[in-house]
Amino acid sequence: MPELPEVETTRRGIAPHVEGREIVEAIVRQPRLRVPVPDDFVERLVGSRIGILSRRAKYLLLPIEGERDGSLIWHLGMSGSLRIARLGDLPKKHDHVDLVLDDGAILRYHDPRRFGFVDWLAGSLESDPRLANLGPEPLSEAFDAERLYRLSRCRRMAVKPFLMDNAVVVGVGNIYASEALFLAGIDPRRAAGRISLERYERLAAAVREVLAAAITQGGTTLRDFVSGTGEPGYFKQRLNVYGRHGQGCRRCNGELRLVTLGQRASVFCPSCQK
């Protein structure tokens, strides 16, 4: 599933091609996504302009400026990608939605599993239930060790699913939670409420370090993800634990172990992570 670095990489890749451009045609080939494409999707968009793109957690937000102002909220699901195509580029089997722009560029949504969606947001972002109760962005000043420590008190759940809770902090999915916990030297099975403030300071710093590095590397391509310009992400080459169970730890060469936490596979080093 595309996580925060992949979505941020997508935003940065497509923004220069779509911001300020007029939508001259909207094509919906497959409306049956996880959330059905709105019936008036084409009517709302044609003739309007795209504003400045933003991201909230794993959602991409495209402001639409026209007779009926609002925003498109886009989620890439398990296998979705947004890419820039040009007039004459024939759509592939799973290219479900096109926004044709006034300079001939096409914002094209590709999603083999159809777990993603694009929906219309008429009101403020805070009024949408998908966005209203989200925690802070992990690269913002609102995310810090004090928040992790305070919210974790008396919590018996393991620290890894705690860190992946979007009400605690957004966008720290399975890959990057595993990697951050390794950098911080914290066992993902340890109860969140039994971790000290000092150790949460290391974890918060590790989350920021891992996510910033992943964005710089264009995200992580494990199977489906490509950027807005069609490039894979290269952070996979820097993974320390995720997907490496049974292999040697890059620090101590001990064997990495695999456990299941919150129904998600978690790989860690029992020697380096306590």
Give the residue extent of every domain in the chain.
4-132, 145-268
202 is in an annotated binding site: no
- Residue from 11, 44, 58, 199 carrying the catalytic annotation: 58
113 is in an annotated binding site: yes
Residue 194 annotated among the catalytic residues of the structure: no
Amino acid (one-letter) located at 184? A
The pLDDT of residue 95: 98
Per the CB < 8 A criterion, the answer to whether 49 and 69 are in contact is: no
The pLDDT of residue 219: 57
For 110-129, the pLDDT digits (tens) are 999 999 999 999 877 778 88
For 157-212, the pLDDT digits (tens) are 999 999 999 999 999 999 999 999 999 999 999 999 999 999 999 999 999 999 99
194 is in an annotated binding site: no
Residue 264 annotated among the catalytic residues of the structure: yes
Query: What's the number of CA atoms in the CB half-sphere (13 Å) around residue 175?
Result: 21
- Cα-Cα-Cα-Cα dihedral sign, residues 225, 25, 52, 63: negative
- Residues making up the chain, counted from first to last: 274
Residue 31 annotated among the catalytic residues of the structure: no
- The answer to whether domain 4-132 has CATH 3.30.160.60 is no
Average pLDDT on 129-144 reads: 94
For 6-21, the pLDDT digits (tens) are 899 999 999 999 999 9
Return the CATH number of the domain spanning residue range 145-268: 1.10.8.50
Residue 270 annotated among the catalytic residues of the structure: no
DSSP 115-140: --EEEEE-S-GGGSHHHHT----TTS
